[in-house]
Amino acid sequence: MKRDLITMLDVQDDILDILDLADRMKKERNKDHQPLKGKTLAMIFEKSSTRTRVSFEVGMIELGGFAVTLNSKDLQMGRGETVADTARVLSRYVSGIMYRAYEHSMVLELAKYATVPIINGLDNFEHPCQIMADLLTVKERFGRLSGIKMAYVGDGNNVCNSLMLGCSMVGMDISCGCPKGYEPDPGVVAKAKEIAWKRGSKLELMESPHQAAQGADVVYTDVWVSMGQEEESRMRQKVFNPYQVNAKLLSVANPRAIVMHCLPAHRGMEITDEVIDSERSVVLDQAENRLHAQKAILVTLMG
């Protein structure tokens, strides 16, 4: 049976093993170990990408394989060929497919008809590869995950959904400070709460960014306007203005708190230059860890 990574829930049983593998892959980066020799990953992009595209491509090369980048507009899919047929055909050529999509349902549809593993490279609902890299980063900084307090401040979006699930799965507490009307998906909140309860950790939702950041070990934010929401920009900027991660907000966190952002950042909006360029910021480690975490995911799914 093939295995996919479409939601964080797909790694619920072995997330710590995958993170350990990522850690080892990072330490042994230059060793000549090519577990995916001769394998090919197709990468379909409906949206822009810097980190996802480059880290997956470099990751496949370092594992001995190869990656093919496909812009969805250039595929027949962009002219109406079904996702199901695209899945069936690509499965005859490649050993795995990474898909960056708008609709979560499209990723599920691709997975349903593909006979090779599907990896969600971000959709409107989740961004699991990002959160695997983020958890690896937290683990590096604190030497553990369980018991660390995460504060997520801003839009209850795809990153927030995956982060709530990921933190709950590894025993981290998470407080989300999101404006009314921009809370994370209630179904994901319920699921993450159930997992957190089993792990003895806590998930809280609140409107106040300061309350969320209070005593946090990690303060995480993401863009206010995600890809595909460009026409809501003005409205969103107004709503999210009080949610900026700046020195004042950080002053209520743990004095040794680190700051995270999945990037790309809109400096001066959700995060100030002062904060993102400070010693507390681990955004470049997060970006680098995309490579190591995804290599571990690729080996787990396609090895």
Residues 40 and 68 sit within 8 Å (Cβ to Cβ): yes
Q: Is position 76 annotated as part of the catalytic site?
A: no
The only residue of 91, 157, 161, 201 in contact with ligand NVA, by rule CB under 6 A: 157
122 binds ligand CP (CB under 6 A): yes
105 binds ligand CP (CB under 6 A): no
- Please report, in angstroms and rounded to a whole number, the separation of the first and last CA atoms in the chain: 13
Catalytic residue among 51, 127, 236, 292: 127
Nearer to ligand CP, 205 or 297 (CB): 297
Short-list 134, 108, 133, CA closest to 119: 108
Q: Is position 51 annotated as part of the catalytic site?
A: no
Cβ at position 229, least distance to ligand NVA in Å: 8
Please report how many Cα atoms fall inside a 13 Å half-sphere around the Cα of residue 250, on the Cβ side. Answer: 22
Instruction: Indicate the residue whose CB is closest to ligand NVA.
Output: 226
User: How many CB atoms are located within 10 Å of the residue 104 CB?
Assistant: 17
* Interface size with ligand CP, residues (CB under 6 A): 9
The alpha carbon of 287 is separated from its chain's Cα centroid by a whole number of angstroms, namely 11
Short-list 23, 61, 32, 157, CA closest to 102: 157
Q: Is position 127 annotated as part of the catalytic site?
A: yes
262 binds ligand NVA (CB under 6 A): yes
Short-list 43, 61, 55, CA closest to 100: 43
Residues 148 and 173 sit within 8 Å (Cβ to Cβ): yes
The only residue of 7, 40, 49, 91 in contact with ligand CP, by rule CB under 6 A: 49
Of residues 123-142, which lie at the interface with ligand CP (CB under 6 A)? 130
Q: Which does 50 bind (CB under 5 to 8 A by kind): ligand CP, ligand NVA, none?
A: ligand CP
Residues 99 and 107 sit within 8 Å (Cβ to Cβ): yes
262 binds ligand CP (CB under 6 A): yes
Catalytic residue among 4, 10, 130, 286: 130
253 binds ligand NVA (CB under 6 A): no
9 binds ligand NVA (CB under 6 A): no
226 binds ligand CP (CB under 6 A): no
* Residue 70 phi, psi dihedral angles, 5° rounding: -125, 120
Cβ at position 32, least distance to ligand NVA in Å: 32
Assign residue 205 a region: left if phi > 0, alpha if psi is -120 to 50, beta otherwise? Answer: beta
Interface with ligand CP (CB under 6 A): 49-52, 122, 130, 262-264
Residues annotated as catalytic are: 100, 127, 130, 222, 262, 290
